[in-house]
A and B are shown apart, each in its own frame.
Chain A
Amino acid sequence: MRAAWIASFASALSLVLAACASTPTEEQSPAGVEERKPGAQPGAQTQPVKPPTVARIDLTGKPSPTSGLKDPNNILSRRSIFYELDKFDIKDQFKDLVEAHARFLRDNPGMRMLIQGNTDERGSREYNVGLGQRRSEGVKRMLLLLGAKEAQIESVSLGEEKPRDEGHNEEAWAKNRRSDIMYQGEY
């Protein structure tokens, strides 16, 4: 809360500073002191009209840290880790994915991540919240071991409540036993 306040104060301050910097100090003479009618004085000097200067900030060209996250060629676009029944260990095929996300968090310390653990539909809804938590927690632990910071990651569970496949067979259940990674702004 306090950190957020400081951050918003800091950004407000930087806007004020930017506005100050844009003020052209050499053209302080107030307009309209000397009234001239156009063409009233023959031989009057003509001046090129100076466009008012505005300090510009253009964010569109600058690649945002998250802009590559949805690119299918980027490994960071892979966001799901799937599990065997009643298991929560990360299978070898998903380790490169977790490593890439860990690197990304390490390189972008301001980035925040939510990991949602999920289960298939069988059994108690509340126990499944626990199982999903164990899965998301496992991903978080691996990310921390690889250099991400505790404050960057929240691991939670959706239990069996948000199946990706609504079917009631092993094929559907395999898709539903998963952890999903989301970055700030995506949840």
Chain B
Amino acid sequence: MRRLATALALPLFLPLCLLLTASSASAQLSIEITGAGAQRIPIAIVPFAGEGALVQAISAVVRADLERSGLFRTLEVPPLNPAPTEAAAVNYAEWRSRLADALVLGSVAARPDGRFEVRFKLFDTVKGADLSGVAYTLSREQVRATAHRIADYVYEKLTGEKSVFSTRIAYVVKLGSRYELQIADADGANADYALRSNEPIISPAWSPDGSRIAYVSFEQKKPVVYVHWLDGSRPRQIAANFKGSNSAPAWAPDGSRLAVSLSRDGGSQIYLVNPDGSGVRRLTQSGGIDTEPVFSPDGQTLYFTSDRGGSPQIYRMPANGGEAQRVTFDGSYNVSPRISPDGRSLAYIARSGGRFQVAVLDLATRQVQVITDSDKDESPSFAPNGRMILLATINLGRGVLSAVSTDGRVKQRLTISAGDVREPAWGPFTR
């Protein structure tokens, strides 16, 4: 009887499934590479032996990750028969003659428990060195996650930097009159919404451990700061809902407090508040608008936007309050400060001749470099390794995201087929 019910329900359920898949596919971010680094490492990623058994070719995801970083040039590898595995003896001279400086070989084997085992090895063909590899056990659903781990390994071995292929990003999609705060993998895959609303959502901010996102939602006809647990383990918390506007949340590096901009005492000023809304404490006392606070990575300093001097500029002050010093001086509109993960540079939005662009200030040398060539840039966000900056801009009248390397060379555009994308926030390392 039960089986019969299932059989009957199935044909009804299937079109619904397809519909859901189709609608989420249209909300999928697609990434286009529009600029690459000057020196790219040529690398051959040979299709993994036996990867046809997986829902997706693992080597293809690794290749796309590395290519997207702008630091690698992946070489076309014709199908080899039999496909070499990581255990094969490598003929370095042959790979050098194919102009590959590095090589990845791997294999996939089905396990009796229905899971899979993936092994891979990375080789430096120039030095003729085996750079080792890892073996992973994975379920059917973990193909992409495993591929990102492999790409992370390759990237870290060959560049010496930490890699961000396994991180996630948050952003807001506006589809008609609907707003969604979406969370996706760094390559735009696996997008899902954390909040869907008929009122605007802005300023998502990841907690340092990646478990929560603070954001501003206008669902109560005014800006209110919420803290949202992504795993659903706890209900959404109200971090700030005082009389007036509550906005611009930023996490302290230890996750214990949020800096926010509140107007509860008249005028937008910066306060500290616990993520559950308790312990509110005022930090700034200016007659101007003080907003967009952000902590330095050591938690000692707050950078923020203020127009106390007549035009909006970036200031800094001790994170427990105290005297503020002006940081930006060129131009009459410098806003949205973000500090690089190493604390050495400040990215912000600078207006010049009516164009809003991302500028990066070296805090030691005071050198400023404008790194974008678009003109309606907003909301910059550093990748956790500091190499790329994700930002919102307008392309052909549509809201899109753009990722630019801090040297301005590598560029990607992230678009969504229907709707505007904005308010990006790159999540932390999760390993």
Measured CB to CB, the residues of A under 8 A from B are 114, 116, 122-127, 129-134, 137, 154-159, 161-162, 168, 187
Residues of A within 8 A of B200 (CB): 158, 161-162
User: Is A157 touching B378 in the complex (CB atoms < 8 A)?
Assistant: no
User: Is B289 touching A154 in the complex (CB atoms < 8 A)?
Assistant: no
Residues of A within 8 A of B397 (CB): 168
Residues of B within 8 A of A125 (CB): 202-203, 378-379, 423
B68 to chain A, nearest CB (A): 27
User: Is B335 touching A124 in the complex (CB atoms < 8 A)?
Assistant: yes
User: Is A158 touching B291 in the complex (CB atoms < 8 A)?
Assistant: no
User: Is B351 touching A134 in the complex (CB atoms < 8 A)?
Assistant: no
Measured CB to CB, the residues of B under 8 A from A are 200, 202-203, 216, 218, 221-223, 243-245, 247-248, 261, 263, 266-268, 289-292, 305, 307, 312, 333, 335-336, 349, 351, 356, 378-379, 397, 423
Q: List 15 A-B contacts (CB under 8 A).
A: A116-B221, A122-B356, A124-B378, A125-B203, A125-B379, A126-B203, A126-B247, A126-B248, A129-B291, A131-B289, A155-B263, A156-B222, A156-B223, A159-B202, A187-B221
Q: Which residue of B lies closest to A127 (CB)?
A: B335
A154 vs B222: C-alpha distance when bound (angstroms):
10
Residues of A within 8 A of B423 (CB): 125
Within the complex, which residue of B218, B248, B261, B289 is in contact with A158, where a contact is CB–CB below 8 Å?
B218
B289 to chain A, nearest CB (A): 3
Interface core residue of A114, A132, A158 (most chain B CB under 10 Å): A158
A159 vs B202: C-alpha distance when bound (angstroms):
10
A159 vs B349: C-alpha distance when bound (angstroms):
17
Q: Which residue of A lies closest to B174 (CB)?
A: A161
Within the complex, which residue of B244, B289, B312, B351 is in contact with A156, where a contact is CB–CB below 8 Å?
B244
Q: Tell me whether chain A's interface is mostly helix, strand or loop, or mixed.
A: mixed
Within the complex, which residue of A123, A157, A159, A168 is in contact with B351, where a contact is CB–CB below 8 Å?
A123
Residues of B within 8 A of A158 (CB): 200, 218, 222-223
A168 vs B203: C-alpha distance when bound (angstroms):
22
Within the complex, which residue of A116, A127, A132, A154 is in contact with B312, where a contact is CB–CB below 8 Å?
A127
User: Is B289 touching A134 in the complex (CB atoms < 8 A)?
Assistant: yes
User: Is B261 touching A126 in the complex (CB atoms < 8 A)?
Assistant: yes
Q: Which residue of A lies closest to B249 (CB)?
A: A126
Q: Which residue of A lies closest to B290 (CB)?
A: A130
Residues of A within 8 A of B261 (CB): 126, 129-130
User: Is B305 touching A129 in the complex (CB atoms < 8 A)?
Assistant: no
Q: Which residue of B lies closest to A187 (CB)?
A: B221
Residues of B within 8 A of A129 (CB): 202, 216, 223, 245, 247-248, 261, 268, 291
Within the complex, which residue of B203, B244, B307, B379 is in contact with A154, where a contact is CB–CB below 8 Å?
B244
User: Is B289 touching A133 in the complex (CB atoms < 8 A)?
Assistant: yes
